[in-house]
Structure 1
Amino acid sequence: PLIVDASSDFFSRKIDFSNIALFYGGVQKNAGISGLSCIFIRKDMLERSKNKQIPSMLNYLTHAENQSLFNTPPTFAIYMFNLEMDWLLNQGGLDKVHEKNSQKAAMLYECIDLSNGFYKGHADKKDRSLMNVSFNIAKNKDLEPLFVKEAEEAGMIGLKGHRILGGIRASIYNALNLDQVKTLCEFMKEFQGKYA
């Protein structure tokens, strides 16, 4: 069965559920605040979880049988999730949000690709994420902490790369708009102009 952790993709685009047995994700990146996860699970997968060795709190069947009320739900997180769903609908729904996300990612990847090798993306072009754009300063990785520092001074935070992958990571989730990505691209070009 296909199991999908969609924490980064959650509500960023339409998903074909036809071959997915279990789809889950924390909502904190695109659809709410920390403390809430959404799980979509096929009924045949619920049947498999009748295993008595799975603690009840971790058993999806327990939660399904209790209509997600086995324990006290995180009401504020659910309230915020509902507000995010209203916002998403007001944006034009998933098709419109996906279109905007594609534009943001294309703009940022173009900035990387046209940098004459100063910046280098981590992922192969066919595998690039619409949500997390990870890259290095290929010409001199020692410049990466300076990039993060100068970006922070310019009002852009959270660009330090993943603790395992390193480098630089721009998380361009739904809430980030096109103008903010343009600002990052302009900063990247200026930084390249100073240090290339």
Structure 2
Amino acid sequence: MSKRAYNFNAGPAALPLEVLERAQAQFVDFQGTGMSIMEMSHRGKVYEGVHNEAASRLLNLLGNPEGYKVLFLQGGASTQFAMLPMNLLTEGKTAGYVKTGSWANKAVKEAKLIGETFVAASSEEDKYMSIPDVSNLVLPENAAYLHITSNETIEGTQFGQYPDTGSVPLIADMSSDILCRPFDLTQFGMVYAGAQKNLGPSGVTVVIAREELLTNSPKHLPTIFRYDTHLDNNSLYNTPPSFSIYMVNEVLKWIEEQGSLEGIEKKNREKANLLYDAIDNSGGFFRGCADVASRSLMNVTFRLASEDLEKQFIKESEQEGFVGLKGHRSVGGLRASIYNAVPYESIKALVEFMEQFQKKNG
């Protein structure tokens, strides 16, 4: 096998090599069926077994709290930005949003098309380079929910602590940091995540929610946009992205093998510390973007002295096998996405390249 790239893509992102190799071995003939899992009916027992196993394994990793259900949907987090208020932002209610950056802003923009919204907290004045204080939020009595984006991939910020919303359901877009560390699912009414960063390949979106939030979708909604449709049909109302769900199950197995979420968090902190230390100890040659207290474990954003130097860094890094280090087009700069599946060795190689680049250009 040829040398694999140092993959720092923001999404679709790195998958565990062990998972890819297992999928490769099963690709043509899954469990002796003479078919790939991509070829078989989603109504058959073999696929349905994988489907149910993935949902059960996901809940088990989160402590298996009573009353929560898993849905496997399509359309990414972007569809959830609309589907969430369509189902939960009913007449007479208002939906709260914490504005932390690009993805949070997209979520609130969609909700405004559906109903009344309010901004509970925002870090806009700080150009979204920090997470706002959410320790003493005051929510109106008619709040349908409070929505947060747990990790902003573009700005490189992440919640350290989640707000206590009392009886108001707390809902989180966890697309870019789900399962990077343990968290208390019972603190949330719902979390959702596109799979393509920490859970598997693109194509499936995971929704984990308290069952009562999924059971009373407004009757006027089109069938496919109602949570209760997918709950009642075990996410099999329409043809699911079966291969993506199979891959999610394999990634979840891999997470278990790493020591579950406690083991994953330990590895993620080691990786993040190595890279942030390299930035902080560069004498100002590399400059971290996010406020130190709000730094993300998953997306490390940083800058150089000029855009020309950043372009040179990207060009030379690509020649050395590094992929995905260019910052998002909306903010520029540099970004290393170091999701669960990115190995420590890749971060070590990046740090060594950064040191060499500084010696030549510092």
Is the TM value for this pair above 0.5?
yes
Q: How far off its partner does 1:94 sit?
A: 1.1
Alpha-carbon offset, residue 141 of structure 1: 2.8
> Taking CA–CA contacts closer than 8 Å with sequence separation of 6 or more, which of the two structures ends up with the larger relative contact order?
2
8 Å contact kept, 2:217–2:227: no
Amino acid at match of 2:303: N
Q: Over residues 138-181 of structure 1, what are the superposed CA-to-partner deviations in whole Å (9 max), with x where a residue is unaligned?
A: x2232111111100101101111012121001011111111110
**Deviation at residue 79 of structure 1 after TM alignment:** 1.1
1:136 equivalent in structure 2? 303
For residues 183 and 223 of structure 2, what CA distance do their matches in structure 1 show? Answer: 29
Q: Provide runs of 4+ in structure 1 moved above 6 Å.
A: none
**Corresponding residue number in structure 2 for 1:181:** 347
> Does the CA-based 8 Å contact 2:170-2:187 persist in structure 1?
yes
The residue aligned with 1:164 is 330
Give structure 1 stretches of 5+ with no counterpart.
none
Secondary structure at 2:196 match in 1 = helix
Instruction: Report if aligned partners of 1:10, 1:27 keep a CA contact under 8 Å in 2.
Output: no
Do the aligned partners of 1:160 and 1:166 also contact (CA within 8 Å) in 2? yes
Q: Alignment partner for residue 31 of structure 1, among 199, 215, 232?
A: 199
Distance 1:142 1:50, change over 3 A: same
Following superposition, the deviation at residue 83 of structure 1 comes to 1.2
Q: Is the Cα contact below 8 Å between 2:170 and 2:189 reproduced in 1? A: yes
Partners of 2:227 and 2:171 in 1: how far apart? 14
Choose 117-126 or 52-61, whichever is displaced more. 52-61
**When the two structures are superposed, what TM-score results if normalisation uses the length of structure 1?**
0.94
1:18 counterpart SS class: helix
- Aligned partner of 1:184: which letter? L
1:107 to 256, 274, 294: 274
1:91 is the counterpart of 2:258:
yes
How far is the alpha carbon of 1:55 from its aligned partner? 2.5
Q: Which amino acid aligns with 2:337?
A: S
- Between structure 1 and structure 2, the one with the greater Rg is 2
- Which structure features the higher share of helix residues? 1
Deviates more, 1:52-61 or 1:78-87: 52-61
SS of alignment partner, residue 38 of structure 1: strand
Unaligned runs of 5+ in 2: 1-168
- Identical aligned pairs, as a percentage? 47
Q: How many residues align?
A: 194
